[in-house]
Structure 1
Amino acid sequence: MERTRRSTIRSLAALGAAGLAGCLDGGLVGSVRERGGDGDESDESGDGDAPDEGRGPPTADGSRHLAYDLETLREESLSGGVGTDGIPSVENPTFVRIDEPTLIDDVPVFGVARGGEAKAYPQYVLVHHEIVNDVVGGDPVAVTYCPLTGTAQGFERGGTTFGVSGQLVNSNLIMYDRATGSWWPQMLATGIDGPMRGGTLREFRVVWTTLGEWRAAHPDSLIMTDETGYARRYENDPYGLYAPLGGYYADEETLFPPLSDPEEGHPKSVVVGARTADGAVAFDKASLLVERVLSGTLRPSDEPVIAVADPALSTGYVYLNPKNVTVEPDGDGYRVGGDGVGGAAESEGAVDADDLPLERVLAFDAMWFAWAGFYPETGFVGDHTGAGYGR
């Protein structure tokens, strides 16, 4: 398939969208377990590559479940119509205190709290760059955003930086690291080409929230400005709008067929997805914010998991729940019971959504079509009927 970003812009102008491309159908092969991470909320430990200068990015000790083999993912990659670094990453971001900008509270931002430091990255800036190479809490990191899949994710970068390769798979951004040139699909966090093929990046949580919510939770946070060194019309999102929802973000059409079509649901509905070495799960974000607690299973392992909402940040957290302990809302927090199978220590009163006494799994927002494309066997929980609702 030779359709590119430019031809897609022309042919889908009626959607008011401009964008990158997805991929063709691929073959299911089960789980790939090579080098990589272990699925924790912050994959910073293990015996993977150290972040030495001149080497590739550090890798985690473990793996991620993949529904396709690496060769299939490489073969299904597609040019987005721009060359390497045709979409320029930001290398020297500038920041101001979060109470300084005259932005409305509903502006979507990607929040990072790490090493005693909090930063917010506005969606309206990252939509033009997709990758910001930064330092947070003393650690060199990359904060990344793919507009076509609605995914904001964070990665440790060690002594190198990440750039936009110009390639996509399943509509998702393929990053490359500048030390080795290896390709890393953002959602998979796994190398599919180059010297680090099969490695898994160390990840950390990025919260998709709003300026007002992040400022209330982190009043001392910094926020990235649009002084990037590039001339861009940052007031214009080429794909549409998030507040109010419109354009590509709301339309049922995807720019290219996903790796696997979901059997039901709005393709652009937002899910909170999580994956480990054993499988993947997706919770409808709108349902989670209403119900507060949802239970599901990783597929294909059928390992029990539970998701809880954090209404203050309009986000959710996912935990492994092997003993099926009960979790119930208690005011703004949650009470964890000890009556699960096999018994478990219960909480001594209400605990915050991000602090349940269970093992937390890194989770992030994604458009349903993209998640189902990468993880077609995913167990889905909730009612995914509305595009983007619950952002």
Structure 2
Amino acid sequence: MRNGVLLILLCLMPFTVVGGTDRPVSPGSEGTLPVRPLAVPLAVPLETYQSSVVSGGPGRDGVPSIDEPRFLSGEDADRFLASDDIVFGVTLEGESRAYPRGILVWHEIVNDRIGDQTISITYCPLTGTVLGFERGSTTLGVSGQLVNSNLILYDRATKSLWPQILSTAISGPLKGKSLKSFPVVWTTWSQWQSLHPDTTVLSTNTGYTRNYFHDPYGGYHPKRGYYDTEAPPRFPVLHSDSILPPKEVVIGARTSSGAVAFHKESLGREKIMEGRLAAEPVIAVYDDRLGTAYIYQGPAASKATYRDGNLVFEGETYAPDALPLERLNAFEVMWFAWYGFFPETVLHR
């Protein structure tokens, strides 16, 4: 994010704010959370995850979720976002929204609403993962605990505990159930704005006093501090592997049948890679527009070919995110964390 004199100017400039108030909402204890049957493979029993939980430092809500977010127009966001700043992009019900990583690194969860959908955007700096979940009529909060170095969420309806990557409750009344998720894109501000010029953007006016122009973990341009590719994880993990550096980024997808991962850097070069998830063929395709990737599943997946930034499938041309096959909810993740949860994963590189 831009800093210095610009930070002073921001305090003086009027912004076009979309919804919300300045006051954070006190976490409630009511509501219901939509869940589904177990949707991921379990490398160990849920009780093992529960017994492996460690404290991340701050206690419950010590890292405060943003429960009443405010939003800016893209034009106003240009005043504090640099072109290469990382944002997390979501498009739901025809509306696009960007959540700057520089804000999420301090809060980890934004409880939001887009159209009629109530959602939570969750980010774990320690594992480099951003996932979106349906939240129903309750909200998600930061438990202050970790497993495999990954953020553990809790829902304010039942107080069940949900490791973000596992997306499955390891304790509480909803133990063994999985959250309902949707895709979130890890990209840059310039790339997102170019593809979604009408996007709104999470405002730094959160109601909390934080330096959103400073990342306490290090930086991504270039990767340094905690994010350095070779740096070891800060907390224990259940399973470890050295086939890739610990914080090398992979694109991972999982179903109840298994897990698959593609080395992001290799995929960026190859543009399209084939693989298998359990017995099903899958393909991973790279999207140069956003610097991200998608994973599709199905018997016909291998028929797709990459041409000039698009996919050709059965004689028709499609954007990388619009192939008419089953698209899995794939996301970027540091290798050590993915392997920690899914040691039986198939890695393609």
- State the TM-score, normalized to the length of structure 1: 0.79
User: Which residue of structure 2 lines up, in the alignment, with residue 114 of structure 1?
Assistant: 92
Aligned to 1:310: 287
Within 5 A, what are the aligned runs for 1:91-170? 91-101=67-77, 102=79, 103-170=81-148
Please give the residue correspondences for 1:77-96 in structure 2 after superposition, counting only pairs within 5 Å. 77-96=53-72
AA aligned to 1:238 is P
**Structure 2 residue identity aligned to 1:292:** K
Report the Cα offset of residue 324 of structure 1: 5.3
Match of 2:191 among 196, 210, 213: 213
Q: 1:65 aligns with which of 24, 41, 49?
A: 41
Map Cα deviations across residues 355-391 of structure 1 (whole Å, 9 max, x no partner): 1122111111100110011001111011xxxxxxxxx
Note if 1:281 corresponds to 2:248. no
2 CA distance for matches of 1:296 and 1:324? 10
Contact 1:56 1:177 in 2 (8 A): no
Identity %: 49
Q: Contact conserved, 1:145 with 1:153, CA < 8 A, in 2?
A: yes
* Cα deviation 1:69-106 (Å, max 9, x = unaligned): 11011111111121110100001111111122222110
CA separation of 1:197/1:234 partners in 2, compared to 1, >3 Å: closer, same or farther?
same
List per-residue Cα deviations over 1:233-272 (Å, max 9, x = no partner). Answer: 1111010001222111014221123211113111111111
CA distance in 1: counterparts of 2:141 and 2:218, whole angstroms: 24
**Residue aligned with 2:343, SS:** coil
Q: Aligned AA for 2:98?
A: A
**Structure 1 residues 61 and 358: alpha-carbon distance in aligned structure 2, compared to 1, 3 A threshold:** same
* 1:365 counterpart residue number: 332
Match of 1:255 among 209, 225, 234: 234
Give 1:323 deviation, angstroms: 4.4
Q: Residue 389 of structure 1 aligns with which residue?
A: none
Q: Distance in 1 between matches of 2:238 and 2:32?
A: 28
Point out the more displaced range, 64-73 or 370-379: 64-73
Q: Does 1:267 align with 2:254?
A: no
Alignment match, 2:223: 245
Distance 1:277 1:171 in 2: 22
1:233 pairs, out of 202, 211, 235, with: 211
* 1:100 counterpart letter in structure 2: D
Query: Is the contact between residue 37 and residue 177 of structure 2 (CA under 8 Å) also seen in structure 1?
Result: no
Using the TM superposition, name which of 94-103 and 323-332 deviates more: 323-332
Contact kept? 2:65, 2:109, Cα under 8 Å: yes
Q: Which one has a larger percent strand, Structure 1 or Structure 2?
A: 2
1:321 is matched with which residue?
A: 298
CA RMSD of aligned residues (A): 1.4
Aligned 8 A contact 2:37 2:176 in 1: no
My pick for the range that moved more, 264-273 or 146-155, is 264-273
The TM-score, its normalising length taken from structure 2, stands at: 0.88
What letter corresponds to residue 335 of structure 2 in structure 1?
W
Match of 1:179 in 2: 157
Q: Which moved more, 1:150-159 or 1:59-68?
A: 59-68
